Structure 1
Amino acid sequence: MGRAFVYVILGGGVAAGYAALEFTRKGVSPGELCIISEEPVAPYERPALSKGFLLPESPARLPSFHTCVGANEERLTPKWYKEHGIELVLGTRVKSVDVRRKKLLTATGETISYKILLIATGARALKLEEFGVDGSEAENVCYLRDLADANGLVNVMQSCSSGNAVVIGGGYIGMECAASLAINKINVTLVFPEVHCMARLFTPKIASYYEEYYQSKGVKFVKGTVLTSFEFDSSGKVMAVNLRDGSQLPADLVVVGIGIRPNTSLFEGQLTLEKGGIKVNGKMQTSNDSVYAVGDVAAFPVKLFGETRRLEHVDSARKSAKHAVAAIMEPKKSGEFDYLPFFYSRVFGLSWQFYGDNVGEAVHFGDYSSGTFGAYWISKGHLVGSFLEGGTKEEYEAIAKATSLKPPVEDLAELGQQGLNFALTISKKPQPALPIEVSRSTSGLVLEKPVYAWHAAAGLVLTASIAGFAYWYGRRRRRW
């Protein structure tokens, strides 16, 4: 028993939906494309799960956040897939993949073959048991990775109104869930081992602003320690959390957000892996030319950094999916994926955006008391990263463009004084129409150099010389 498709997308997350939309725009025919997903619903926007889905009033529910509304595109409901002749194979786990034979085997025993496979398997949430702590199966211990997790969390939230919640982890999931729980009038304590929240991105100064804001909303912070065990009641529910520093916190609800791990197990030993994910080139193509990978699972070359990285964010999933499909459908027209890393979050009444890389020296700017502030990161004399809280659409676009241009920065003090005006000015400057030569410095930073007239002249001379030699050599060959 089996089915065959020209294109198969393995995974039903954000990237799968955006890839499907791009396939239709590039002219895929009805019956050629199939999406296989373990989830029982069509692809949806995962960011909604830690934001609108958890709100106490008018919470987001499907079909309102099916992809691709996150990028202001049309909403891809099950009806949309049917109208475009795209097969949705939902609630189906793939047991194995044979890349050489281009076949997938589902848990039910069905074989699905393909000509081109697009891997969009994403990542799974790390479990406490992987760190030596038992208790994940307790009904009031929640993770947040998919719709089933979100439904479970909402059910527990509703049963412990005005109760105590302990959130484990100070990253994206921890911060966004803590905010949502506080909005639901639940007493929240956020626990993490780092010295401040969002340690992978925030500077201490930026982090202190958000921690103070959260505290003003009733959220407590316990930093520099980790969960070691739970206390359970007679029914098996968690009633307290034990920490390494010896303290104990009462808990009616525990939310765990301690990181993710890419879903690569089906391809180990078949495709090249790197940075914990599946290595791809600038066209999102793996070590097998009939297989592509996108989203959280893909490790791809980031030109801004001059190295391969794996980025865990919805924007990367959306854009890498679209680029991969363009490379599949129009290989001669598509270039290398030139992505500016972008991260964002919205909590309470706050909203921040970050572009680029947070390496080098951070230069803070803005008025923290007004709620509009930010930072630039300078490495090897160039702007490589920008962060802004409370900006306008124009200001966010300005820091994005400025970061992508990587302008030189000589005076850090002056940069701090200019603040947002630096990005606004840089972004409005007309760019030279000269051709651009891209080179990589030893630091890995991509530098752009204008190609001057003498370069062009030298190129013409070289081209003419090669052409002359080719003509002479061709005539000699004919005589031989």
Structure 2
Amino acid sequence: MSIVIIGGGQGGLQSADSLRTEGYTGQITIVADEPGLPYQRPPLSKDYLTPGKEALPLPLRGEAFFNDKNIRIVRGVAATAINRQNRTVSLADGTTLDYEQLVLATGTRNRSLTCAGSQLPGIHSLRTLADAQALHTALPTARNVVVIGAGFIGLEFAAAARAHGCNTTVLEFAPRPMGRALTPVMGDWFAGAHARLGIELKLSEGIDRFEAGEHGRVATAVSTTGASYPADLVVVGIGVLPNDSLALEAGLETGNGILVDANLRTSDPAILAVGDCANFPHPLAGGNIRLESVQNATDQARHVARSIMAVERGQTEANPYTDLPWFWSTQGPYRLQMAGLAHPQDDTLVLGDPETARFSVLCFRDGVLAAVESVNLPADHLAARKLLGGSTRLSRQEAQAEGFTLKSAAKSLLAAPA
């Protein structure tokens, strides 16, 4: 059996690594459309942009990994088509790869602005190493930075720009930052936290147009309220779209990503999908969901490897993928960690003191703990993952008891007899 993996990110690399760990000895080929060794994306909007930081990417695996594991990687060449009948993948350089099992780890691409002036020099996106290198070069001389979008990437970059001493303004059309991912109480806290860093966070205010200066570069951002903000550097972070065009053109079922079943197989049993591009069923979501996180990509990759190997051995496929989602974001001095999937309507309970920037927000649904958001409390986050990943359910009443901590609750859970 030969396996082709399209995508050189976290999901693609972990799929190959886990296949070898599970005992697969056949040919593995990874198709990565960027040149160079695959690298970690999360640091690009954080550590990579820190003042004085050397512009070096962190590789996902070293060169020796591919030799030691006997994994072929095709770099700097994009996959252009999938022929499901012949089980082949066509590449942009004219070559064709045969597969018996195909893993799609194609990730996402940034949403683009279409407003007037959105193509002016000085307006950047942030996703690839090339994007980060351009911003690493531009930040030390930038004075007025405007960020479009108060999601994770936008606020991580805003904090980095502020650390460089830039006057930094964030325009966010929604009424609170990170509104799709966080509870209102945590979103409101981060709005105040960024203001304390000196960032101008303009909520309920989107971008209308950009205007050029005398040298043809961006000089002004005009918002939907008509307000003008000086800008010699702009970063657009308005979300992403799943890279599902290969799947769509091959006749696979898609819809906000590549649709897969509980074992991450597409409508073609010979093709699986993992990571940011996969739209999969999850019990915590009450239906299908698409998650954008390193944890999800790597956990799904491990699951796919087990499923593929089970089929090859004539065994029953692995149990459905139900791993607990967890996420993180570093924004200046604030380390945000989330476990589970919070809903805006969840009943919330705050542990700790938000004034100290060390606290957690517990989210209860139908009286039971469903998610936890933590700021600068990694022990709370680890405890939350243990609690939410176990079979015991924590009630709000238990969490309100005097002396309660997530750490002690998790410890009691682990000590309880099976």
Fold agreement, TM-score > 0.5 = yes
1:387 to 358, 362, 373: 373
CA distance in 1, matches of 2:325, 2:70: 33
Deviations 1:330-369 (A, max 9, x none): 3437322121111111222221211112122222221112
1:43 to 27, 34, 38: 38
1:158 to 140, 144, 150: 140
Superposition RMSD on alpha carbons, in Å? Answer: 2.1
2:281 to 301, 317, 334: 301
How much has 1:212 moved relative to structure 2? 2.5
Partner of 2:198: 218
* SS of corresponding position for 2:179: coil
Say whether the 8 Å CA contact 2:55–2:136 is kept in structure 1: no
How much has 1:232 moved relative to structure 2? 0.8
Distance 1:406 1:344, change over 3 A: farther
Partner of 2:72: 87
> Is 1:33 matched up with 2:28?
yes
Q: Which amino acid aligns with 1:105?
A: S
Partner of 1:273: 254
> Is 1:149 matched up with 2:113?
no
CA distance in 2, matches of 1:126, 1:392: 32
Deviations 1:360-379 (A, max 9, x none): 22222211122221111111
Distance 1:418 1:110, change over 3 A: farther
Distance 1:166 1:418, change over 3 A: farther
Say whether the 8 Å CA contact 1:142–1:256 is kept in structure 2: yes
CA distance in 2, matches of 1:381, 1:136: 47
Distance 1:52 1:329, change over 3 A: same
2:120 to 118, 123, 138: 138
Distance 1:387 1:136, change over 3 A: same
> Is 1:339 matched up with 2:323?
yes
How much has 1:79 moved relative to structure 2? 3.0
Structure 2, unaligned runs of 5 or more = none
CA distance in 2, matches of 1:302, 1:427: 27
Deviations 1:29-82 (A, max 9, x none): 37x1111111012222110111111112234513xx211xxxxxxxx1223213
Map 1:164-313; keep pairs closer than 5 Å: 164-268=144-248, 270-274=251-255, 276-313=256-293
Residue-pair matches, total: 409
CA distance in 2, matches of 1:418, 1:277: 45
Say whether the 8 Å CA contact 2:4–2:99 is kept in structure 1: yes
* SS of corresponding position for 1:53: helix
Say whether the 8 Å CA contact 1:49–1:150 is kept in structure 2: yes
Q: Which amino acid aligns with 2:385?
A: A
Partner of 1:424: 408
* SS of corresponding position for 1:273: coil
Structure 1, unaligned runs of 5 or more = 68-75, 434-480
Distance 1:171 1:96, change over 3 A: same
Say whether the 8 Å CA contact 2:372–2:381 is kept in structure 1: no
Partner of 1:348: 332
Deviations 1:94-113 (A, max 9, x none): 22212232112222222222
Identity %: 29
Judge which range, 94-103 or 316-325, deviates more. Answer: 94-103
**TM-score under structure 2 normalisation?**
0.92
Deviations 1:281-331 (A, max 9, x none): 222111111101000011112133342211111111111111111211234
